[in-house]
Amino acid sequence: MATNRSGAAQRPNGAPQTKVCQFKLVLLGESAVGKSSLVLRFVKGQFHEYQESTIGAAFLTQTVCLDDITVKFEIWDTAGQERYHSLAPMYYRGAQAAIVVYDITNQDTFGRAKNWVKELQRQASPSIVIALAGNKSDLAAKRMVEFEEAQAYADENGLLFMETSAKTAMNVNDIFLAIANKLPKSESGGGGGGGGAGAGARRLNDGDAPRASSCCK
Amino acid sequence: MSSSSVEEITDQSNDLFTQDGVLLKACSGRPVNELNSIGMLCIVQNSDGTKSIEWRPSDIITVCAVQEQDWALVNAIGRRQRTFSGNLTADYATARARIIRMPLNELKIFRVTNRNQQMSFSNKVGVWQSTFFFQHGNAEVFIAYLKSHVKTAKSSRDRNTYLVVEPTDETRALNRSFTELDIFQENTTDVVWNIVSNLKERPYETTMEAFSKLSSIGLDYNSGSQLLYYGNEASSKRDVSEEVADLLTKSMVAAEEAHSVTKSDEYEVISMKPTLPPRPSIPRSTPLSQEKWEGLQDTLGRVTEMDGVKQLIFRGGVAHSIRKQVWKYLLDYYPWHMTHAELKALQKKRTDEYYCMKLQWRSMTEGQESRFTEYRDRKSLVEKDVNRTDRTHPFFAGDNNPNLETLQDILMTYVMYNFDLGYVQGMSDILAPLLLLMGNEVDTFWCFVGFMERIASNFDMDQAGMKHQLLQLQQLVMFASPELAQHLALKDSGNMYFCFRWLLVWFKREFSLIDIMRLWEVLWTGLPCANFHLLICVAILEAEKEVLISGDYGFTEILKHVNELSMRIEVNKVLSSAEGIYHQIISAPHLTDQIRIILGLTPLGTSAPTEDDDAPEATGTNCKDNDAAANVSTSGTDMEEAVLEYDGIEISIVTQTVWALLA
Ligand SMILES: Nc1nc2c(ncn2[C@@H]2O[C@H](COP(=O)(O)OP(=O)(O)OP(=O)(O)O)[C@@H](O)[C@H]2O)c(=O)[nH]1
Ligand SMILES: [Mg+2]
């Protein structure tokens, strides 16, 4: 992919008048898996080793360009600790996309991610696009969750899946772009043939692979 | 909407939302003389879990026996405590039969008309079954809450008409989450929570004057030739009442401009919208200095003027050089009355206790740990958070910083001290400034225990403490800043969750470490009233009111804006305006018991009902309500009482010592 990996995501500088779509995206996952770090990397191109824990929720926006369309993400970053679980529905309500994050060095966080996926499939909007992010891929030496295991789970559940690193920026822009590509833009009528399918029926084909934008650079 | 028999209504039902000052304008199947009576429109949860919209005439609420003279009873509202605990007289039973209710699962359609002041409901499309007029002109708030219980779609033909659609899974989930955490639903029986009751003691009398005048006005009803009367003898035709409502609307809209006199050919309305008295600007004072602090201790080291010290700290905080010492008292680690010698013994005892608890987890073997999931969970939470608490501050910065280990040790020992509460995210934020100041592990621990003692309910498993505070905050905002409250309610933010972070860690994330020390020490004094930290919230929000309202900020923008205030709030300014707001609230003529209770004042309604009895004297603190203020300041019997005056508002200072020190 030709995206700039270390910098911020593409901005629509100089882009011609394109259609703008706005999507609400929520990040869920156990505490300290790197939700806030992923958002910070995507929105500001930064990484803080000592990113403070999230209390309540945070809200940020970022705009990315696809070939013919500008996508504005409204991003809700939630607090991960189980104690604050009951706040989450307030934030995933009406979300068109979710990134469920786990930490590849911690098996428990993967279990927790699966629970979030289940909850979203049950309770969020049926057309929600869910991506699974195995974060901290830079810590491969301490890996506890195998890539294949997570990929298989994602395939079964029709989730986008990538291993990411907020620290090195690997796959961070890419996962957001992949989501942007998969989201139904209103003119295409809710994603063509997949429009009526429930979340469980979603599959990521090769044809859906994220395309880097050419309108920004 | 069906009229219900007495048996149908059990007092088990729980009010989720209530709106005062709602006039019954029309209801199919109801006798004419019941129309135009005033009451309360509620969303209630029935004992079987279903919900209904319910309208209760005010006389049943006030347990007022008057039935015939509709207007006479109105004067009783607002003064009486509304309660169901009165005697169930025959009149009461009759009154109860006038309750109108509609189960929410039967509600099909509703609409808002007359500049959002009138609402009609029905369980079938094509005919409106009941119509209500909102005297305070705030049907929006009711609608906002109604929409949190039913899923609606706007009618394609009429923007003001809402169709109730089947709840989707998503809304069910949302509702479930609201049930778990939200303040709109059950588990709030302790606070019969009454969202608009803040506004309840509005001067109905004046508004009622308008109604009584209208009731004797003959309306020249254009389309018909007859002269119709509004009032008990009026025709039951609904359109007539709508006509009258239009008239009223005009007067109400005019009345919106705070205090106004509206004149027209036929009628005159004098209305007053209760407003708070002007906010006094109360200057902050200088911090309690070492010199003064030493002067306040006797030769043995006892602090005899605890109230005075607290007053001084409330006014100006504590000088940094003596913080370390003073905080131990403020956080209940050191009792004020102890001598140096006694404190020394206490410290020794607490040190032993601390190391004993520390040893409990320090001596845990790996094997033990592997079979102790709950302990392991707590430990891993602590580790995650210690690693990312205030790391930008030099005291906690850098790898292998020993202060991180101290944080970890204190939090783990606290886990042993209070295993049930354990460790919850946010606690490390509370601890960090304490350690930064104290330096010493044992002292920090016991100060942390004292702080946690005050805020443990913030970390309740079921979030009960947070819910309760958010609810109280909502009530305070409603009282102190009704326009803002209305805006928030309209933007799905009435539950105040955007203040979650403020309350959870007492503003720790909003201020620099040095400022948070100032704020906390002031709040720990417990002055000038209970829950002053909620008034800090009100003060911050009040300062942002213009931005939030004129920018028409919605759910997301509100949260974003509030989060972004972090590090941009001036601590002294906010303390000063919060104190100003406190004085505004307690001097407001329409101060309600609900607010009194939040601020720790004696409610009027539950004490002896006779007002001429001894005025509710402030006990222990200098808080007192307005009625009492005059008495106290003129009595002059208490030589220790000093009264300062700012902008016409009197602020009492407890002791002469303090007065002298302040001067
Ligand atoms: N090595 C490495 N560390 C990371 C990565 N992403 C995040 N971290 C670190 O993991 C810790 C937690 O990251 P956060 O982004 O605060 O985690 P969170 O999921 O937002 O946590 P909560 O707000 O508590 O729910 C921080 O110390 C980050 O520096 C990553 O990709 N690689
Ligand atoms: Mg976070």
Answer whether B174 touches A (CB < 8 Å): yes
Q: Provide, rounded to the nearest whole percent, the portion of chain B with pLDDT above 90.
A: 47
A186 pLDDT band (50/70/90 cuts)? low
Distance CA B393, CA A188 (A): 51
Task: Using CB atoms within 10 Å of the CB of residue B220, give its burial: 0 to 12 exposed, 13 to 18 middle, 19+ buried.
Answer: exposed
Distance CA B120, CA B161 (A): 9
Task: Cite the DSSP H helix spans in B6-100.
Answer: 58-61, 90-96
pLDDT attached to residue B465: 94
The residue ranking higher by pLDDT, B107 or B216, is: B107
Helix (H, G, I), strand (E, B) or coil at B57: strand
Q: Tokens 């680690």 correspond to what residue? A: B333
Angle of helix B441-455 versus helix B427-438 axis, rounded to 10: 140
- Say whether B173 and A124 touch across the interface (CB within 8 A): yes
Task: Cite the DSSP H helix spans in B587-655.
Answer: 593-598, 626-635
Q: Which two tokens stand for residue B549?
A: 């309202």
The residue ranking higher by pLDDT, B147 or B214, is: B147
| Residue among B1, B58, B57, B55 nearest B28 (CA) | B1
* β pairing state of A97-103 and A19-28: parallel
pLDDT attached to residue B136: 66
Amino acid making up residue B327: W
The residue ranking higher by pLDDT, A17 or B150, is: B150
| Residue among B93, B59, B145, B70 nearest B478 (CA) | B145
Q: How many CB atoms lie within 10 A of CB B127?
A: 10
The residue ranking higher by pLDDT, B185 or B564, is: B564
Q: Provide, rounded to the nearest whole percent, the portion of chain B with pLDDT above 70.
A: 67
Least confident window among B92-96, B147-151, B540-544 = B92-96
Q: Give 3-state DSSP helix, strand, coil % of chain A, rounded to 5.
A: 35, 20, 40
Distance CA B195, CA A140 (A): 53
pLDDT attached to residue B351: 98
pLDDT surpasses 80 at A112:
yes
Please list the residues that pair with B165 across neighbouring strands: B151
pLDDT attached to residue B501: 97
- Say whether A55 and B391 touch across the interface (CB within 8 A): no
* Residue A66 phi, psi dihedral angles, 5° rounding: -100, -175
Q: How far is A192 from chain B (nearest CA, A)?
A: 23
Question: What is the rounded average pLDDT for all residues in chain B?
Answer: 74
Distance A38 CA to ligand 2 centre (A): 9
Dihedral angle over CA of A28, A32, A38, A44, nearest 10: 120
Ligand 2 (ion): residues with CB under 5 Å are A 35-36, 54
Query: For B429-439, what is each residue's pLDDT tens digit?
Result: 999 999 999 99
Question: CA distances (Å), B528 to each of B267, B323, B522, B575, in order?
Answer: 46, 21, 10, 11
DSSP letter for B166, please: P
Distance B219 CA to ligand 2 centre (A): 64
Distance CA A191, CA A210 (A): 15
- Say whether A83 and B384 touch across the interface (CB within 8 A): no
Least confident window among B134-138, B228-232, B358-362 = B228-232
pLDDT surpasses 90 at B632:
no
Question: CA distances (Å), B74 to each of A130, B70, B358, in order?
Answer: 57, 7, 64
pLDDT surpasses 80 at B617:
no
Exposure of B613 in the CB half-sphere (CA atoms within 13 A): 8
Please answer whether residues B198 and A151 qualify as being in contact, where contact means their C-beta atoms are separated by less than 8 angstroms.
Answer: no
DSSP letter for B324, please: H
Q: Which two tokens stand for residue A125?
A: 């909007």
A78 CA: nearest ligand 1 atom: 25
- Say whether A87 and B497 touch across the interface (CB within 8 A): yes
pLDDT surpasses 80 at B312:
yes
Q: Which domains does chain B have, with CATH numbers?
A: 14-62+90-164 (2.30.29.230), 203-214+276-333+462-603+650-662 (1.10.472.80), 339-460 (1.10.8.270)
Please state the pTM of the whole predicted model.
0.67
Dihedral angle over CA of B555, B558, B561, B563, nearest 10: -80
Contacts of A89 in chain B (CB under 8 A): 173-174, 176-177
pLDDT attached to residue B216: 30
Answer whether B461 touches A (CB < 8 Å): yes
Dihedral angle over CA of B180, B184, B189, B193, nearest 10: 160
Residues 6 or more apart in contact with residue B413 via CB below 8 angstroms: B354, B357, B358, B361, B445
Distance A208 CA to ligand 1 centre (A): 29
Q: Where are the beta strands (DSSP E) in B506-628?
A: none
Query: For A116-153, what is each residue's pLDDT tens digit?
Result: 999 999 999 999 999 999 999 999 999 999 999 999 99
Chain B residue with the nearest C-alpha to that of A79: B425
Contacts of A166 in chain B (CB under 8 A): none
Please tell me which of A77-86, B204-213, B579-588 the model is most confident about, judged by mean pLDDT.
B579-588
- Say whether B425 and A79 touch across the interface (CB within 8 A): yes
Tell whether ligand 1 has an atom less than 6 A from the beta carbon of residue A127: no
Distance A37 CA to ligand 1 centre (A): 5
Q: Is the ipTM of this complex over 0.90?
A: no
DSSP letter for B279, please: P
The residue ranking higher by pLDDT, B488 or A86, is: B488
Helix (H, G, I), strand (E, B) or coil at A13: coil
Which residue's alpha carbon is nearest to atom 1 within ligand 1?
A136
- Tell me the count of A-B CB pairs closer than 8 A: 92
pLDDT attached to residue B245: 45
pLDDT surpasses 90 at A157:
yes
